[in-house]
């Protein structure tokens, strides 16, 4: 396969289960990755590749689909209103102040909040490419606790792509040290495509 690794979706997202998805409440997911049983090669995204990054696409998707998101929606009255910016290498980054109301153990950020921040970063990394997708799988590694009362940076990058499936990585860092990392698979869906406004 000349150095390209395969991104093999598992569980309900696999090509083998493409037909079964219609019976588990996801009738509109487009199985463009291939017919049931076919193998599909992944496209490796080179590090530093910003191909397809478009800030205008990001804004349009936010307005149409994501403006009430708990993490990054501008219209959620109790949301965090994170503002992600696209970097030259195609990644996205945002700053977040770890307030004490997000504690798990006293003085430390709750692990679920850390996971949600990483998921949001990866979602926004797809948005800047004009892609809206659901999280299909999320793996989080907690290397060290994140302290409350101090800012963190959350950053995400696209690693592999073969539409409608995408593989991304993200991390939380504080004072320049990476404390929490994540990798995830995302799946495009007809359920979250922008719809034309009715007259």
Indicate the pTM of the whole model: 0.71
Which residues of the chain are modeled with pLDDT < 50?
A: 1-49, 197-199
Which pLDDT belongs to residue 133? Answer: 95
What whole-number distance in Å separates Cα of residue 79 and Cα of residue 66? 12
Q: Domain limits of the chain? A: 50-159+167-189
What is the number of alpha carbons within 13 Å of residue 59 lying toward its C-beta? 3
What confidence tens digit (pLDDT) does each residue in 107-161 have?
A: 999 999 999 999 999 999 999 998 999 999 999 999 999 999 999 999 999 999 9
- From the number of C-beta atoms within 10 Å of its C-beta (0-12, 13-18, 19+), residue 94 rates as buried
Q: Which CATH class is domain 50-159+167-189?
A: alpha beta
């Amino acid at each position: 396969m000349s150095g390209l690794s395969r991104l093999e979706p598992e569980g309900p997202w696999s090509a083998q289960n493409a037909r079964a998805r219609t019976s588990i409440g996801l009738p509109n997911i487009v199985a463009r990755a291939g017919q049931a049983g076919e193998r599909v090669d992944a496209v490796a995204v080179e590090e530093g590749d910003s191909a397809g990054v478009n800030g205008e696409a990001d804004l349009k998707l936010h307005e149409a689909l994501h403006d009430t998101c708990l993490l990054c929606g501008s219209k959620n009255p109790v949301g965090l209103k994170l503002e992600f910016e696209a970097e030259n290498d195609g990644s996205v980054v945002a700053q977040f102040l770890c307030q004490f109301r997000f504690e798990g153990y006293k003085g430390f950020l709750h692990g679920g909040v850390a996971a949600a921040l990483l998921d949001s970063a990866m979602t926004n990394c797809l948005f800047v490419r004009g892609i809206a997708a659901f999280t299909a799988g999320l793996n989080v590694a907690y290397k060290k606790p994140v302290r409350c009362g101090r800012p963190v940076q959350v950053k995400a990058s696209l690693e592999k792509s073969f539409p409608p499936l995408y593989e991304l990585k993200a991390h939380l860092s504080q004072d320049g040290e990476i404390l929490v990392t994540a990798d995830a698979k995302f799946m495009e869906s007809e359920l979250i495509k922008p719809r034309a406004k009715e007259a």
